[in-house]
Amino acid sequence: MNVPSHIAIIMDGNGRWARRRALPRIMGHKAGIDSVKNIVKACIKFKIEHLTLYAFSTENWLRSRKEVKGLFRLLGSFLDNEIRLFHDNGVRLRIIGDRGRLDAMIRQKIEDTEKETAGYETLNLNIALSYGSRQEILNAVRQLSREVKKGRIRPDEIDEKIFAEYLYTKGSPDPDLLIRTSGEMRVSNFLLWQISYSEIYVTSKFWPDFREPDLKKAIEEYGKRERRFGG
């Protein structure tokens, strides 16, 4: 079967999952972490090479201080608790997004985990944190403009390949499959450049309910699609 090499996921619906159970929102995010662990393990099992998860968007900074703090605390514990899983299974972690806005302690933890796992290549796990695709593209344009100004590159030399090297996802292939949970038909400022030819799969399940069998179903659906890349 045709298995995607890179899966990107917009993990949506934690809040609604919690509301249905009359629980605080943070409990939805906590259950969402269990799905993250389950899906990371499933990707290792299904031999997926790249997994990119949308954990926190630039727009998410507008949420209550309490929720933002809670989310970053959960992320910190995830990194502490799963480092063994990363070592045992050859998972390389990379955080994509605007690190400048992250608190110094979490930034340090991220850098340490990235360094520790840099040599692994079974699964490349990218977590988008304080990520916004338009900001990523603007950032690339600014960097390239500086290179042009310094005379290091000519404007007509800039092609898709060179441009992609200035994005946070530098070095990763484009996602083959984009999954969104909780039924919304939006891309929400996620990987706008990179998903140009991705297949899209939307499920009505909330993220905390999305587990290995659901991923398998998405991969099977992807296997049936015929990709033409506009040709």
Residues that bind ligand FPP (CB under 6 A): 11-16, 29, 32-33, 36, 53, 55, 60, 74-75, 78, 127, 207
Using the minimum distance from each CB to ligand FPP, give the nearer residue, 55 or 218. 55
Radius of gyration of the chain (CA): 18
Min dist. Cβ of residue 205 to ligand FPP (A): 12
Q: Supply 144's token pair.
A: 């390239």
3-state SS, residue 197 = coil
Interaxial angle between packed helices 104-117 and 65-89, expressed in degrees from 0 to 180 and rounded to the nearest 10: 20
Min dist. Cβ of residue 12 to ligand FPP (A): 5
126 classed as catalytic? no
Using the minimum distance from each CB to ligand FPP, give the nearer residue, 101 or 142. 101
DSSP string, 160-180: HHHHHTTSTTTTSPPPSEEEE
Using the minimum distance from each CB to ligand FPP, give the nearer residue, 14 or 113. 14
Min dist. Cβ of residue 62 to ligand FPP (A): 11
12 classed as catalytic? yes
Helix (H) or strand (E) holding 128: strand 123-131
Min dist. Cβ of residue 167 to ligand FPP (A): 20
Q: Which residues contact 16 (CB under 8 A, 6 or more apart)?
A: 28, 182, 206
Beta-bridged to residue 50, according to DSSP, are 6, 124
Active-site entry in 38, 60, 89, 189: 60
Using the minimum distance from each CB to ligand FPP, give the nearer residue, 55 or 179. 55
Residue 92 CA from chain centroid, whole number = 13
Kindly report the length of the chain. Answer: 231
- Catalytic positions are 12, 60
